[in-house]
Amino acid sequence: MARTGRRPGAGGTRDKILAAARTQFGRHGYEGATIRGIATAARVDPRLVLHYFDSKDGVFEAALELPFDPAAALPPLLAAGVDGLGIRLARFFVDVWDSPSGTRLHAMLRSIVASESAATRMRDFATREILGRVAEALELDHPRLRASLAASQLIGVAMLRYVVKVEPLASAPAAEVAEWVGPTLQRYFTEPTATHRRRRPSPGR
């Protein structure tokens, strides 16, 4: 009798391709990674990559699924109140990036210059999914602006720590990075003047 249903090992093959894609995008960015390179790293035929994901964009999108659920991860950070929130957020951020699943975010970061899709996902990850939720939960004024300012700080840290690898930031322990960055995040979230815009002088003055 002929066998029906999904081919044995299909799920494993897809997972192997995704793991290889995350490594390739993390090392080479969106432009440098190729379908053939991903297939070679996964030890499969390039046609299988296209079979599962249709295109390079398709495998890129699938490979960059966030490594955690913000809705579940953030409430414990907020439960302790606003005091020390900046340091807790910075430590959470660095711990995620330092974890094995953080390679997905490394790939996203290396690809944001060349891929609008990666840039959009990075903005959503930092601004909406994490910091925007925090600003709204704290019922702050100008929550979107405060979240954007905090996101700019964290993305800059990530670029210097994981891509450019500037010392001592690149090799510092996560707790130390959190101590450096946390006060700035705290200011963006809690300082009343952080969102004030300086008035431009009138022409002729």
What CATH number should be reported for the domain holding residue 167? 1.10.357.10
Q: What is the DSSP string of the chain?
A: ----SSPTTHHHHHHHHHHHHHHHHHHHHHHH--HHHHHHHHTS-HHHHHHHHSSHHHHHHHHT--SS-HHHHHHHHHHT-STTHHHHHHHHHHHHHHSGGGHHHHHHHHHTTT-HHHHHHHHIIIIIIIIIHHHHHTT-SSHHHHHHHHHHHHHHHHIIIIIS--TTTTTS-HHHHHHHHHHHHHHHHH-GGGG--PPPPPTT-
Task: List the structure tokens of 56.
Answer: 């390079």
Task: List the structure tokens of 31.
Answer: 């432009």
Average pLDDT of the residues in 148-167 = 88
Q: Are residues 43 and 79 in the same domain?
A: no
Comparing 127 with 47, the larger pLDDT belongs to 47
Q: Are residues 97 and 142 in the same domain?
A: yes
Task: List the structure tokens of 194.
Answer: 């952080």
Inter-residue contact 153 to 184 (CB < 8 Å):
yes
Q: Are residues 33 and 85 in the same domain?
A: no
Tell me, yes or no, whether 55 lies in a domain.
Answer: yes
Amino acid 39 reads: A
Q: Are residues 97 and 155 in the same domain?
A: yes
Tell me, yes or no, whether 54 lies in a domain.
Answer: yes
Q: Are residues 121 and 33 in the same domain?
A: no
| Per-residue model confidence (pLDDT) at position 203 | 57
Comparing 143 with 97, the larger pLDDT belongs to 97
Q: Are residues 41 and 99 in the same domain?
A: no
Q: Are residues 38 and 97 in the same domain?
A: no
Q: Is the pLDDT of residue 193 over 50?
A: yes
Q: Token pair 């929130």 is at which residue?
A: 85
Tell me, yes or no, whether 202 lies in a domain.
Answer: no
Q: Are residues 114 and 140 in the same domain?
A: yes
**Mean pLDDT, the chain, whole residue set:** 80
Comparing 196 with 166, the larger pLDDT belongs to 166
Tell me, yes or no, whether 98 lies in a domain.
Answer: yes
Tell me, yes or no, whether 83 lies in a domain.
Answer: yes
> What residue numbers bound the domain in which 42 lies?
10-63
Domains identified in the chain, total number: 2
> Tell me: the pLDDT tens digits for 53-95?
998 878 887 876 766 777 788 888 888 888 888 999 999 989 9
Q: How far apart are CA 14 and CA 74, in angstroms?
A: 30
| Per-residue model confidence (pLDDT) at position 47 | 93
In CATH, what number is assigned to the domain containing residue 36? 1.10.10.60
Q: Is the pLDDT of residue 147 over 90?
A: no
Q: Which residues contact 172 (CB under 8 A, 6 or more apart)?
A: 180
Tell me, yes or no, whether 199 lies in a domain.
Answer: no
Q: Are residues 84 and 173 in the same domain?
A: yes
